[in-house]
Chains A and B, each alone.
Chain A
Amino acid sequence: MEKNMNNAQKYWQANIRLVIGCLLVWFIVSFGCGILFVNQLNAFRLGGYQLGFWFAQQGSIYIFVALIFFYAWRMNQLDRKFNVEEA
């Protein structure tokens, strides 16, 4: 029981670390690149887009999608590693 608890706690810690990492990226691409530093980034260009504007209206959304799939993939790995998969 004690060992089992530790396993569950370790799993939860690994989960929290992953979530914090993902949400950091989430924050940087939207609030960082798209809002707080949009004017600085607009000095650079991506084709016809100013870079900050691109993050605000396109880039952040693509990265959100990738982020969720990355999270789902990593969580499935963690589920297996800690042996807590659903039957």
Chain B
Amino acid sequence: MTNLMITTYLVVGATFALYLYIAVKSRAKNTGEFYVAGKGVHPVLNGMATGADWMSAASFISMAGMLAMGGYDASAYLMGWTGGYCLLAMLLAPYLRKYGKFTVPEFIGDRFYSQTARFVAILCLIIASLTYVIGQMKGIGVAFSRFMEMPFDVGLFIGMAIVFVYAVLGGMKGVTYTQIAQYVVLIFAYTIPAIFISIQLTGNPLPQLGLGSTLTGSEGVYLLDKLDKIVVDLGFTAYTAQKGSTLNIFLLTMSLMIGTAGLPHVITRFFTVPKVKDARSSAGWALVFIAILYTTAPAVGAMARLNLTNTIQTGEIGSPEGNLSIEERPQWMLNWEKTGLLSFEDKNGDGKIQYYSDNGLTSAETDLAKALKDGGDVTAAQAKVDTATAKHAESKFAGFGWKGNEMDKIDNDIMVLANPEIAKLPNWVIALVAAGGIAAALSTAAGLLLAISSAISHDLLKGMIAKNIDDKTELMAGRIAMAGAILVAGYLGLNPPGFAAQVVALAFGLAASSIFPAIMMGIFVKRMNSAGAICGMLAGIGSTLLYIFWYKGFMFIASTAMAPDNAANWLYGISPGSFGAVGALINFAVAFAVSSFTKPPPEHIQHLIEDIRVPSGAGAAQSH
């Protein structure tokens, strides 16, 4: 075993010991502790737990890479995944806390005085959370296999076992305190390499400022200007320039914001604070802790792109000495080639690597190879290759003897995973990144699993099937539901359905088009009745699912897609991932239309709404 491996095992092992210690210390004694940690979590600590709950394997491992490759266009994710907290703080969290119950479907069922509404909410919650959790389980397995050289499934089993201990024993109470520890681990793991890299490139220790600073030894050239110039010289679009359509970026941002505010595992976190005013400030703290990572990520992304480009394009573009010699490529490239995240092919046989934009030639060739292998439309794929080849032949790059981009694969994840090695940081930092990635995946998985198990034991069992069970039985049912949810999630992580990559769009689309509008109208529109809310939710989910399935295939079976999934075919250029905002709009419109010609809600519901709108009165008495 190498030194690095030993360090990694020690650091990751230490974090696991900490999580287990917390698990033993914070066992849940009743359903109140199991579902909402007894409503006794300090708002700042809840903010931290929310940060870990929210920031998933995707935020930690993949987002910087999305920024590095997407440039300005990936801003939609930054704004979308943070701006949602404004909606949560001002439109949902304080009122739901005042209501004082345990779950999101419970509120929807009570407010719309309808078991049907509750059932629809349970369904949306389970589909959204379950699809989201698959990605986390995969993240755990991937982190183990890449950093600790363990088989994927062994890593997954270890992760499941850890979550099992603290989530089954402690419920929300155990999850909350481990999430706080996990936040600390993941934020150090993310920011320390970023600080080192920022110092190396710009001399500024704060990555947020480093990104706007001049490069060291460059006599006043700003980092972003340099990056723009270098990528444009290599044929790419400028890093800071917009590539996609404004409408699509707008709607994607909006969908992610509304979806964030509507994701049940995040909403539930605000049920755990003692008071209404704590729910307001806690959302602010959550965003502080999230913003530390989300404002660092753009710096990590841009700096990684610059480092990567400089590593390969070592000198003047077009000169024979300008590119990295394959023989002399750095150790980190060798390391990550083994994982399949990085690969290259010396197409022109010059013993050097060229990384540039070749007018889509490489991607067209990949598509052709795929079509030949899987029996797709070979003629169309061949035509695309011919067009790209002709375009490339006219470009300046052909004059240099280049025959296509030679970096076949640069996985987004590599920007974070390989960062410490690219920056030549010590072993303990690499080990910390491993622990951070695992913490990010575990914390989000636990939050999602808790939302699923509460929906099953509290809403489905206690609320609909067996209303008379006592607290102890319900607590046991909650633990069993949690164990079951972990097993299902583990199974799906091991055998991910083909659509695993698409599910994030689905989870956000569902949350945005069903849960968020239903809760918001429940609080802000007194006249909204059960018929309106139910029809609205169904129309919202229905239209969003239809739009996603239209381009991705029904149940994500690609062959059943009704139209190719690209900008030319999308309705007004709206990508399936951006449709949630439109679905929400449809939900609102249908709900208002239906409620306007059906009976207004009964009087006791009107009182209920008046009650949740003010912080004072009966708040404590409502918690069972």
Which residues of A approach B to under 8 Å, CB–CB? 8, 11-12, 15, 19, 22-23, 26, 30-31, 34-36, 38-39, 42, 46-50, 53-54, 56-58, 60-62, 64-65, 67-69, 71-72, 75-76, 79, 83-87
Task: Contact check, A76 vs B277: say whether CB atoms are below 8 A apart.
Answer: yes
Task: Contact check, B72 vs A68: say whether CB atoms are below 8 A apart.
Answer: no
Asked if B191 is at the interface of the complex by the 8 Å CB criterion, the answer is: no
**CA distance in complex: A71, B253 (Å):** 22
Task: Contact check, B277 vs A56: say whether CB atoms are below 8 A apart.
Answer: no
B291 — which chain A residues lie within 8 A by C-beta?
A: 61-62, 64-65
A75 — which chain B residues lie within 8 A by C-beta?
A: 94, 277, 280
Task: Contact check, B613 vs A61: say whether CB atoms are below 8 A apart.
Answer: no
Chain A residue, CB-CB nearest to B79: A30
Asked if B275 is at the interface of the complex by the 8 Å CB criterion, the answer is: yes
A54 — which chain B residues lie within 8 A by C-beta?
A: 212
**CA distance in complex: A87, B298 (Å):** 44
Known contacts A71-B90, A72-B89, A72-B281; A56/B79 CB under 8 A: yes
A49 — which chain B residues lie within 8 A by C-beta?
A: 211-212, 224
Asked if B284 is at the interface of the complex by the 8 Å CB criterion, the answer is: yes
Asked if B249 is at the interface of the complex by the 8 Å CB criterion, the answer is: yes
Which residues of B approach A to under 8 Å, CB–CB? 67, 72, 75, 78-79, 82-83, 85-87, 89-91, 94, 208-209, 211-214, 222-225, 240, 242, 246, 249-250, 253-254, 275-277, 280-281, 283-284, 287-288, 291, 294-295, 298, 610, 613-616, 619-620
Task: Contact check, B610 vs A64: say whether CB atoms are below 8 A apart.
Answer: no
Task: Contact check, A60 vs B79: say whether CB atoms are below 8 A apart.
Answer: yes
5 closest Cβ pairs, A-B complex: A48-B222, A56-B75, A68-B284, A72-B280, A47-B212
Cβ 8 A contact of A67, one of B86, B224, B275, B288: B86
Known contacts A48-B222, A60-B79; A19/B287 CB under 8 A: no
Task: Contact check, A48 vs B91: say whether CB atoms are below 8 A apart.
Answer: no
Q: How far is the CB of A72 from chain B (nearest CB, A)?
A: 4
Chain B residue, CB-CB nearest to A67: B86
Task: Contact check, B72 vs A56: say whether CB atoms are below 8 A apart.
Answer: yes
Q: How far is the CB of B271 from chain A (nearest CB, A)?
A: 15
A86 — which chain B residues lie within 8 A by C-beta?
A: 275-277, 615-616, 619
Interface centre among A36, A38, A64, by most chain B C-beta atoms within 10 angstroms, is A64
Binding site secondary structure of chain A = helix
**CA distance in complex: A22, B89 (Å):** 11
Cβ 8 A contact of A57, one of B78, B277, B287, B610: B78
A84 — which chain B residues lie within 8 A by C-beta?
A: 614-616
Task: Contact check, A72 vs B83: say whether CB atoms are below 8 A apart.
Answer: no
B94 — which chain A residues lie within 8 A by C-beta?
A: 75
Cβ 8 A contact of A8, one of B86, B254, B610: B610
A-B contact sample (9 more), CB < 8 A, given A36-B246, A53-B240, A62-B295: A35-B249, A35-B253, A48-B224, A49-B211, A49-B224, A56-B72, A56-B79, A61-B294, A65-B288
Q: How far is the CB of A49 from chain B (nearest CB, A)?
A: 4
Task: Contact check, A61 vs B295: say whether CB atoms are below 8 A apart.
Answer: yes
Task: Contact check, B212 vs A46: say whether CB atoms are below 8 A apart.
Answer: yes
Task: Contact check, A47 vs B213: say whether CB atoms are below 8 A apart.
Answer: yes
Known contacts A19-B91, A85-B615; A57/B75 CB under 8 A: yes
Q: How far is the CB of A52 from chain B (nearest CB, A)?
A: 9
Task: Contact check, A34 vs B212: say whether CB atoms are below 8 A apart.
Answer: no
B242 — which chain A residues lie within 8 A by C-beta?
A: 38-39
Task: Contact check, A64 vs B86: say whether CB atoms are below 8 A apart.
Answer: yes
**CA distance in complex: A8, B526 (Å):** 14
**CA distance in complex: A87, B85 (Å):** 27
Cβ 8 A contact of B613, one of A12, A31, A46: A12
A8 — which chain B residues lie within 8 A by C-beta?
A: 610, 613-614
Cβ 8 A contact of A26, one of B83, B223, B280, B298: B83
A79 — which chain B residues lie within 8 A by C-beta?
A: 277, 615-616
Q: How far is the CB of A13 from chain B (nearest CB, A)?
A: 11
Q: How far is the CB of B279 from chain A (nearest CB, A)?
A: 9
A11 — which chain B residues lie within 8 A by C-beta?
A: 613-614
Chain B residue, CB-CB nearest to A22: B90
Q: How far is the CB of B389 from chain A (nearest CB, A)?
A: 33
Cβ 8 A contact of B298, one of A22, A57, A71: A57
Task: Contact check, A48 vs B86: say whether CB atoms are below 8 A apart.
Answer: no
B249 — which chain A residues lie within 8 A by C-beta?
A: 35
Q: How far is the CB of B497 from chain A (nearest CB, A)?
A: 33
Task: Contact check, B83 vs A60: say whether CB atoms are below 8 A apart.
Answer: yes
A60 — which chain B residues lie within 8 A by C-beta?
A: 78-79, 82-83
29 contacts between A and B (CB under 8 A): A19-B90, A23-B90, A30-B253, A35-B246, A35-B253, A36-B246, A38-B242, A47-B209, A47-B212, A47-B213, A48-B213, A50-B224, A50-B240, A60-B83, A61-B79, A62-B295, A64-B82, A64-B291, A65-B284, A68-B90, A68-B280, A68-B283, A69-B281, A72-B277, A76-B280, A79-B277, A83-B616, A85-B615, A86-B619
Q: How far is the CB of A46 from chain B (nearest CB, A)?
A: 7
Q: How far is the CB of A31 from chain B (nearest CB, A)?
A: 6
Chain A residue, CB-CB nearest to B90: A19
Q: How far is the CB of B276 from chain A (nearest CB, A)?
A: 6
**CA distance in complex: A47, B616 (Å):** 48
Q: How far is the CB of A3 from chain B (nearest CB, A)?
A: 15
Task: Contact check, B224 vs A34: say whether CB atoms are below 8 A apart.
Answer: no
Chain A residue, CB-CB nearest to B89: A68
B213 — which chain A residues lie within 8 A by C-beta?
A: 47-48
Interface centre among B249, B298, B615, B619, by most chain A C-beta atoms within 10 angstroms, is B615
B610 — which chain A residues lie within 8 A by C-beta?
A: 8
**CA distance in complex: A53, B240 (Å):** 7
Chain B residue, CB-CB nearest to A65: B287
**CA distance in complex: A57, B223 (Å):** 15
Chain B residue, CB-CB nearest to A71: B90
A62 — which chain B residues lie within 8 A by C-beta?
A: 291, 295
